[in-house]
Amino acid sequence: MTARRRADAPRVALITGASRGLGSTIARFLAGQGYSVIANARTAGPLRREAAQLLAVGGRPIEVAGDVARADVRRRLRLAAERLGRLDLLVNNASELGPSPLPPLARFPLRALERIYRTNVVAPVALVQELRPLLARSRGRIVNISSDAAVGGYPGWGGYGASKAALDLVSRTLAHELAEDGISVVSVDPGDMRTAMHQAAYPGESIADRPLPEVTVPFWAWLLGQDPRRVSGHRFRAQAETWEVPA
């Protein structure tokens, strides 16, 4: 594909964990904005159903099923982006909560903790490494999905929260390191939401008082309207009353 054809092509977004919850909400919002969406999730069936929904709102989805913690899956994601000729936005949304009910850190199963870090920290870094040339070509954006657990120190949330704190630092570091490539990087705390993951954190309890992930849509519209260079390196709360770029 020539440079001119790449420039004229629809913008492309790659979203991990796109088959449900926040990932699905972001994917549908971007499809409605004219993006071609590369949608990734571990399980093919739910991902296929999500792709049908993306088609319904005018998107051009490509499904890549598989665990993003696996190197072969990340290579398939890169190949999908290369077929489209560009990558404008990477959303590292796929996350591992860990055991349910949530155990305290002093008794946390270490294999489970390693799994959390592989999915929530190592996989996003590895995916950035895999996709850096494509992102640089489009002067693209990276959005890493964080959590209020990254700063809260909540009992039981230590494994997940520590991984998201690490991802926040990864985001700030990448923002400095990738600036020379024209790539911007932010982390986003989406806030409490009524999702399957959040329900797993509170087995047997009602989370009906939490908003659905669609509550974050105004934030995504705001973020994508900002100068990428001004927002890069910052952490945002999607459910804040207002959003401002720190001075």
List C-alpha distances in Å: 111 to 79, 98, 115, 118, 144.
31, 10, 6, 11, 24
Best CA proximity match to 123, nearest among 172, 73, 168? 73
- Establish whether 117 is a catalytic residue: no
The alpha carbon of 72 is separated from its chain's Cα centroid by a whole number of angstroms, namely: 19
In the chain, what is the straight-line distance between the N-terminal and C-terminal CA atoms, in Å?
A: 40
Q: Among the options 117, 154, 160, 202, which is catalytic?
A: 160
Q: How many CA atoms lie within 13 A of 167 on its CB side?
A: 38
Catalytic residue numbers? 160
